Chain A
């Protein structure tokens, strides 16, 4: 099947001092476009994108880099040189869209290219990413992690008496990458003569994700905080691992049937407000019950009874998961001439077809001549 973005060329570029979180966000946006069929050209410095060297390494290649850059073309340009600038300008003129970090916009001809060139020559869309954006003071130093702190997401995860916790992986960076992709493709839909500029501030994206907490604060004057063992939804142990206790009021009877423990009939637990007040005691009883059940048993009951419980799987286990296998969710991608690795395909099935990612681009050590 023809992929939806087959006719599009998209350029990825970042300044030498670009924050890691923004490199990851740019790369994720580009990875989505590449899976959807776009020609994605990633500009790298002669020593390679620093993400190539972020551990863990698989066959000498960073796992993050391999996942985020499968299916792209890598072009090496020496930054700060006249030749590099000229080549960048040519690549830019040939692209329908560019994804770049805000620092690059000030440091090269990207801005003038967007403003001054004829629309037919310049990219129609530029997605410009940063950790923070105005009105935040420009001198405020940030990282993906401190953005999570400012966005209220750290405060909501973990035990009440222990350190606030980040979610696994690079969720703030990847969410910003999703925002950049969506803004970019929306921009490509537009028919206006002037190019569109998509501005993604990672902090705004995180706050947007965390809207429920801000919404609650906006009318009640107080926001929720992490409750750990007292949380209504939390992870409990079971016979062979862990299961996320997730349920709504309507699910309570089915949950009691699964647990099969007379103590759950206690008046304290009859209504939601009582269950919230006695949430630690409830978690203790449910954990005792779950410790007699395997994740598979809980999974089967949850499927049959339409209970939203979540047996916890590791990525390694998921690579062998029957549902994921049936949906061809893990694709084999070549890392180099001899090695292939498994990674998630784009999480969409398009009229029955899924799109496998392309190979991970090798680094050409010498600046490449720019093919036009």
Chain B
């Protein structure tokens, strides 16, 4: 079975989440993704331990994000390493990066150099602020962009200040991977017709603003921070049930009568606030299961507010694909959607440093085993233990 991006080769300079998760999704869709690290520079995710007890299967965030990829290690700061990278770029379709602005040019592998090596190359540059503009060198993590892109302004309690998605979600770093993978696939599709490569300048701050685009349209109508309330719903919020758990409830205007009947609130004219207070009282007297079942039977959307552990426990009951497992049964990131004809699947675990250097150099670069050994002993490349032995002498 051929996946849709089969035949597309990606040199992946993506790091941490935004870049590395974009190329992971391209790999899921069938692209051959070769992660490029350096003897002197690793994806920082390899060294990011998680808070709390350490897992036994290696750096977890790296393992979650870099499955389905190959990995090579070459020193882009050396002329030999750069030459090698450009030789691989000539045999590739996409280069993807999310370094700070200016790093690619300093390494001598900016768009002009890549295009000279391969006129059909697609360079996807994912950055905080975009390639140009007065803030081009502004650095960020996801929550910086919640603030700078307008999302934080729209998030918060009605009586409070703006709120960011925070360190545990870092929302702008997650969504960009889905969008950027879509843009790379679009460029690949267009190239099949026109033969032309492209440089994709993807600003995470702009994406964050795009995802609240309606607030720009509303302009001075000021879409306010309003907790969980949201038009056109008559009532939407979280309420505590007996025992203290939270339940999320959305009530459409046409469902108000059913809600009033259910909770025995006969005041037809009661405001949304009044109804919210009545619903809070009603829910506060009922345990979780009974409360959600009663709301469901009245045709009202209601669900317990789950934390990550509880959400994980619902796998197989409420969901299936968002988290996946390797053949060895180790949990890794799954998929944000699924294809029926060519299902996305986990076929490789996240690679060790330089796991595929020798093999990729031999297969794509045409290097002999002796040349690879020489590059390795010169320190221009790094090969995982014993991997050179697999190359025919």
Contacts and interface: CB of A to CB of B under 8 A. Distances in A.
Interface string A156-200: 111100111111110100110011111101111111101111111
A67 B213 contact: yes
Interface residues of A, number: 146
Given A141-B299, A174-B211, A183-B339, A146 B143 contact: no
A135 B342 contact: no
B175 A323 contact: no
A145 to B, nearest CB: 5
A310 B303 contact: no
Contact of B150 (A32, A68, A314): A314
A344 B250 CA distance: 29
A223 B168 CA distance: 10
B116 interface: no
Interface in B223-253: 223, 225, 227-228, 230-233, 236-239, 246-250
A206 B183 CA distance: 20
Interface centre among A150, A178, A311, A349 (most CB of B within 10 A): A178
B13 interface: no
A175 B175 contact: yes
B312 to A, nearest CB: 5
B165 A156 contact: yes
B217 A190 contact: no
Interface in B147-164: 147-157, 161-164
Interface stretch (B35-43, B129-137, B264-272): B129-137
B182 A182 contact: yes
A363 interface: no
Interface string B170-192: 11001100110111011111101
B124 to A, nearest CB: 9
Contacts of A222: 52, 309
A364 interface: no
B227 A163 contact: yes
Contacts of A153: 169
Contacts of B147: 235, 242-244, 246, 310-313
Contacts of A67: 213-214, 216-217
A217 interface: yes
Interface in A45-62: 50, 53-56, 58
B83 interface: no
Nearest to B314: A150
Contacts of A145: 228, 230, 236, 248, 250, 301
Contacts of A55: 231-232
B5 interface: yes
Contacts of B61: 212, 215
B178 A182 contact: yes
Interface in B43-70: 50-53, 55-57, 60-61, 64
Interface stretch (B318-326, B346-354, B378-386): B318-326
B217 A58 contact: yes
Nearest to B21: A211
B309 A235 contact: no
A205 interface: yes
A187 B4 contact: yes
Given A219-B55, A224-B308, A347-B179, 13 more contacts: A4-B186, A155-B246, A164-B305, A168-B215, A199-B338, A207-B322, A215-B64, A216-B308, A234-B164, A246-B140, A246-B143, A311-B148, A319-B219
